[in-house]
Amino acid sequence: MSGMQQLIVAPILLPLLTAALLLLLGEKRRPLKARINLLSTLTGLGIAISLLLWVKDQGQATSIGVYLPGNWAAPFGIVLVLDRLSALMLVLTGVVGSSALLFALARWDRAGASFHALFQIQLMGLYGAFLTGDLFNLFVFFEVLLAASYGLLLHGSGRSRVKAGLHYIAINLFASSLFLIGAAMLYGVTGTLNMADLALKIPLVPEADRGLLHAGAAILAIAFLAKAGIWPLNFWLVPAYSSASAPVAALFAIMTKVGFYTVLRLWTLLFSGQAGASAFFGGQWLVYGGLATLACAAVSILAAQRLERMASLSILVSAGTLLAAIGFGQTALTSAALFYLVSSTLALCALFLLAELIERSRSANELPLDDDGDGLPSPLESLQPPKGINLDDEQKAVVGQIIPWTMAFLGFSFIACALLIIGMPPLSGFVGKFSLITALFNPQGMGVPTQQPLSVAGWTLLALLILSGLASLIALVRLGVQRFWKPQERPSPLLRMYECVPIVALLGLCVVLSLWAEPLMRYAQDTAASLDDPASYIEAVLGTRSLPGPTTLDSVGQVQP
């Protein structure tokens, strides 16, 4: 086993050990805990990038790394699997986690107890969910990240957070129960929970048990789709994400992608074209469920008045787009959806962080936190010129109106986030949506004549992609006029460096995606191609053998070195 394959377990062990250390330090050493948390999170991001580069540099047949934590070969032991898709999600989690934590260090980490430990446990659950290769440990990591998210959602207290938190806990406990029921039914039919082994066993299921298999898969899918935010199971998401503190909501931007990742992983692995009578089971439900989610979110976003709620509804727009795109089962659409996933997640994370800064002068997110430390230079008192001072006899301004630098920063950042979410050029949001539309008309790739006309579902997705962008444009322009253009008699918000840097970094990454979209698109195409041909995944997992111990027994029972 190579050194990089041994590094596969590091994203799980690192936050686990860090969380244990942070709990031992107690609450009186918060500055030290903050530094340890940040160092661990950035180290985890570095490990994730190293794993992605390793996977990217491997050939198509060797781009899957397998690690056996208990040194038991699959399907009997725990297995961690790293491929192009999981490596991409690891890096995305590390970027979002680092940005959210850096923003939280300005003030939010002091709003309650055990924030840093919960943050690391959350990262552990996310990394584990993306790496695990069996349903049982997927359930374990789901519960780990959900348990941490319960505490993070309530971080900062407040009536709205408690109310939304109770709904959030109830729906996720129900979804976890469905997870167990669905996994038990699959195990009863196939006798295994290892994903690669399930892919081999499903085509062999007798016809008499096929209905039970499909029922178990459907129940399991409901649990994942509820976490992914599909309509009508997404009623809990907007209140919960809107009530959470800004860094927690930004971290939660990757949470719905866990549900999407699991659906994509299991559907392409268990119900691929090689699944016999179960091939592509449930694909139409993904398409129409995604379309319904996209339509409802686009209508709802028009009525949103607060930026936090608008960002939460934008998550549902993203979820509906992704679920509908992968439901078509086309490689080109899946690769475009993966590019769109990266761009939309970064943009929504930045928007959640930006929302608090924009709304800070209002009462929405004011908390009695200790604001010690050096802030950035104070902004001016108002955007309006003082009355009767700088106007001449004709009531014209003698000098131009001075815009405080904080408002300029917030305004430009808001414009960038809006362009990304709407899908307008020149940023990566446009590249993602344009790739989706191109893939709808050219499922075999550019330059290859299409034999089949676009289906009704395809035309519907095309129309909703355009209409959802128009709805986001109307809503964001209206809110931008209210926050930045309309004269308001209140001071501009005070900002800190910790709060500005992560927003700049996230938007900067989106600019990088716009300028160098081709390498990521090629990576997404390779990822989609490997998902459509799961044979290499199955062979890598089931072909990995446990390592021999330091001693073995010969035929007569003597210990041999």
Q: List, for residues 517-535, the tens digit of each pLDDT value.
A: 888 989 998 888 888 888 8
Residue 171 lies in a domain: yes
**Structural domain for 35, as ranges:** 3-364+404-539
Residue 389, in any domain of the structure: no
Looking at 201-210, 297-306, 487-496, 523-532, which range is the least confident one? 487-496
Reduced to 3 states (helix: H, G, I; strand: E, B; else coil), residue 548 is: coil
* pLDDT tens per residue across span 397-442: 444 444 567 777 888 888 999 999 998 888 888 998 998 998 888 7
Residue with the larger pLDDT of the pair 389 and 546: 546
> Residue 292: is its pLDDT beyond 90?
yes
Q: How many domains does the chain have?
A: 1
**pLDDT on residue 293:** 92
Q: What pLDDT is attached to residue 373? A: 39
Among candidate residues 202, 37, 194, 180, the one with its CA nearest the CA of residue 120: 37
* Of 158 and 200, more confident: 200
- Report percent pLDDT > 70 for the chain: 85
DSSP β-bridge partners for residue 65: 82
Is residue 133 within 8 A of residue 146, CB to CB? The reply is no
| 124 found inside a domain | yes
Taking the CA atoms of the chain, what radius of gyration do you get in angstroms? 25
| Any domain includes 509 | yes
Q: Is 42 exposed, middle or buried (0-12, 13-18, 19+ CB in 10 A)?
A: middle
User: Is 79 domain-assigned?
Assistant: yes
Cβ proximity of 116 and 33 under 8 Å: yes
The answer to whether position 550 is within a domain reads: no
The pLDDT, as a whole number, for residue 386 is 40
360-401: pLDDT as tens digits: 655 433 444 444 433 333 333 333 334 444 433 444 444 444
| Cα gap 51→87, rounded to integer Å | 6
Q: Determine, yes or no, domain membership for 393.
A: no
> Tens digits of per-residue pLDDT, 37-58?
999 999 999 999 999 998 887 7
Rounded mean pLDDT of 441-449?
Answer: 61
Cβ–Cβ contacts within 10 Å for residue 547, how many?
9
Q: What is the pLDDT of residue 62?
A: 57
Q: Which of 6-15, 118-127, 239-248, 375-384 has the lowest mean pLDDT?
A: 375-384
Top-confidence residue, 376 or 467? 467
Note whether residue 335 is domain-resident: yes
Q: How far apart are CA 263 and CA 257, in angstroms?
A: 10
